[in-house]
Structure 1
């Protein structure tokens, strides 16, 4: 069985990382919604897929289609004139809209081969002709092929979006880590010396609510004076910030799951005595705090 002090320290660290990761996720989702990051990423991916970087050809025609952009009037001459940008497009709807955008007579499958041959971009024309030949001229099979092509292209776009999101998460995590002075080295030292601090965490809130914030503030984090002195201790503090940021990037689900496991381990052993349970008012750590002087 693990030493009870080790379990209490692990509980405190896991809860801190989980709450920080949850805060980052909440802020990131708010930014993505406010800035329409998914919609812009999807638009850039379609422009790249259709070789229409200036949004003057098939990409513009596609976004004017009611299946793709039903909330727009279909009159936009450039992407800045779009009144609405969808965040998600069904592959079949993309295939139908692209077929209509290519065809001079939408829905007329008999001249689709001629319409594809008239596409101006060489690379796009070759791709569409290859799909058309494999479909044997059948409209449904051609649209199924276009839908599969769209899925493959969007998989690459999703990968790019995830890499971009990871970078944003890292920057937000570092920002919040420094803002709240969540130093893993100091946190580890204080929790090891005062393991009863982590005993206050009797539940693992899975949402960012007042309870989780109160519990987070009960831990030895925060600033007692700012700016810090730029000495050897500050270098150790920076190392603690980096460890915190790197750990929080594992995500809230990972840390909440880890926290629950440590809570179960603590439940199988001797519980801390009532006399050892601290109040919500934090004892004075050697550094950090949320009181006066912040």
Structure 2
């Protein structure tokens, strides 16, 4: 009997810790959603990633990213001060960016202006040619070189066939400039060449060096994209780890607030479960039912779909609180006057407990009402701290333990 009672007390405590842990997680969700912490954390990570204010502002405001609700086109000209002001705005509700999407937008921002700048002098030299077949042919060859990286030898031949030395020299000078900027990449991958040129145009030396180091020796746009994705993922993983640690501190704080607000004192709770067989059995039965409840298991293990709205998150937290309060545990607070007759009756009885030991009665915390107030305080504080630490272990830990003990 004693062994069974001990197991039931343990099951009861674990079940209460599980419910409180779920409630803390749900309250954290409400806090995170209310303060938009995930989006702010993502924005902070993007600021660490993209140290150039202009590049950062254009990426954050890009329609495919949408972390800042401000219209800035990739080829818009903005000053660093304007960029800082734009990037300093509060973020939208975007909490995650796909790596492929980030790389695509970064490429877009880096190459959209350089795509034209790289070939601008070449197009101007072509515009100076007289109207005719040669002009059309050279323009098409330049367009093919710009878009596909093809036709460079043919372009050289077409320019050399020109009879006007001035036009020929202007075109060769412009083409030499393109080749010098793009290097061997121009032939192998014009898209990568344009991106590398865009990197050279970045004002931030830190970001420029970072991207150059990442893309060093890269000769293929697919390989470059893969390296940029790895860079992004590494930063986001570090960001996620730091955010998780931050949430753990939130959990400790919320757990302490719950322990105090609901007066969930582990020591008092264990004593009540031990002394009250009916309560012990009711809580054990509820715990066994919980292990067979797939929805509660999903909530505990974090496999449940996240709430889509703030109201849904609040409703989930309220539901968990109702489940906890429905167990009729000796938690919460009361204010009950204690008379000398109540104390005398308790001392004369073998059944009644001393009303000054009632951990729910706020009046017992006052030294004038309770001669043993110091020990009472110390015991309550210890009980609250144990509850707080237990809650911080998380619902998956407690539900795993509960499943093992109940044999599920």
Q: In 2, are the aligned partners of 1:198 and 1:219 still within 8 Å (CA)?
A: no
**Residues 29 and 67 from structure 1, CA distance in 2 versus in 1: closer, same or farther, beyond 3 angstroms?**
same
> In the alignment, which of 204, 207, 213 is matched to residue 324 of structure 2?
213
SS at match of 2:376: helix
In structure 2, what is the equivalent of residue 48 of structure 1? 48
CA distance in 1, matches of 2:196, 2:321: 62
What is residue 9 of structure 1 aligned with on the other side? 9
- Bigger radius of gyration: 2
**What is the Cα deviation at residue 166 of structure 1?**
0.5
Quickly say closer, same or farther: Cα 1:58–1:71, change in 2 above 3 A: closer
Equivalent residue number for residue 254 of structure 1: 397
* TM-score calculated relative to the size of structure 2: 0.59
Show the counterpart of 2:230.
148
Distance (whole Å) between structure 2 residues aligned to residue 82 and residue 148 of structure 1: 27
Aligned residue among 55, 58, 62 for 1:65: 62
- What 5-or-longer segments of structure 2 have no aligned partner? 73-82, 116-146, 148-190, 300-318, 335-360, 367-372
1:246 and 1:82 mapped to 2: Cα distance? 34
Question: Match for residue 382 of structure 2?
Answer: 239
Q: Does 1:226 align with 2:371?
A: no
Is the 8 Å Cα contact of residues 62 and 98 (structure 1) preserved in structure 2?
yes
In 2, Cα distance between equivalents of 1:74 and 1:172: 39
| Deviation, structure 1 residue 258 | 2.4
Residue by residue over 1:141-189, the C-alpha shift from the partner in whole angstroms, topping out at 9 and shown as x without a partner, is 1111111100000111011101110111110000010001111111112
Q: CA deviation at 1:110?
A: 2.9
Are residues 1:109 and 2:197 paired? no
Return 168-177 or 123-132, whichever deviates more. 123-132
CA contact (8 A) 2:263 2:384 kept: yes
- In structure 2, the residue matched to 1:289 is none
**Alpha-carbon distance in structure 2 between the residues aligned to 1:91 and 1:64:** 16
Residues 83 and 43 of structure 1: is their aligned pair in 2 closer, same or farther, counting only changes over 3 Å?
closer
Checking the alignment, whether the CA contact within 8 Å between 1:42 and 1:88 is kept in structure 2 is yes
Q: Which has the higher contact order (CA 8 A, sep 6+)?
A: 1
Aligned to 1:188: 270
Inter-CA distance 5–14: structure 2 relative to 1 (3 Å threshold): same
Q: Distance in 1 between matches of 2:396 and 2:244?
A: 17
CA distance in 2: counterparts of 1:260 and 1:82, whole angstroms: 44
- Secondary structure, counterpart of 2:215 in structure 1: helix
Number of residue pairs aligned between Structure 1 and Structure 2: 260
Once the 2 structures are TM-superposed, how far is the Cα of residue 135 of structure 1 from its aligned partner?
A: 1.7
Secondary structure of 2:267 counterpart: helix
Which structure: greater helix fraction?
Answer: 2
- 1:84 equivalent to 2:81? Answer no
User: Could you tell me how far 1:37 is from its partner in structure 2?
Assistant: 0.7
- Measured after TM superposition, the shift of residue 70 of structure 1 is 8.3
1:262 and 1:212 map into 2 onto residues whose CA distance is 21
Secondary structure of the residue aligned to 1:134 is coil
CA displacement at 1:74 relative to structure 2:
2.5
Q: In 2 relative to 1, CA 241–128 (structure 1 residues): closer, same or farther, beyond 3 Å?
A: same
Distance 1:180 1:82 in 2: 35
CA 214–84 in structure 1, closer or farther in 2 if over 3 Å, else same? closer
| 1:74 aligned to which of 71, 75, 80 | 71
Within 1, Cα distance between the matches of 2:244 and 2:66?
24
My pick for the range that moved more, 77-86 or 95-104, is 77-86
Structure 2 counterpart of 1:287: none
How far has the Cα of 1:85 moved from its partner?
Answer: 4.6
**Contact 1:63–1:74 under 8 Å retained in 2:** no
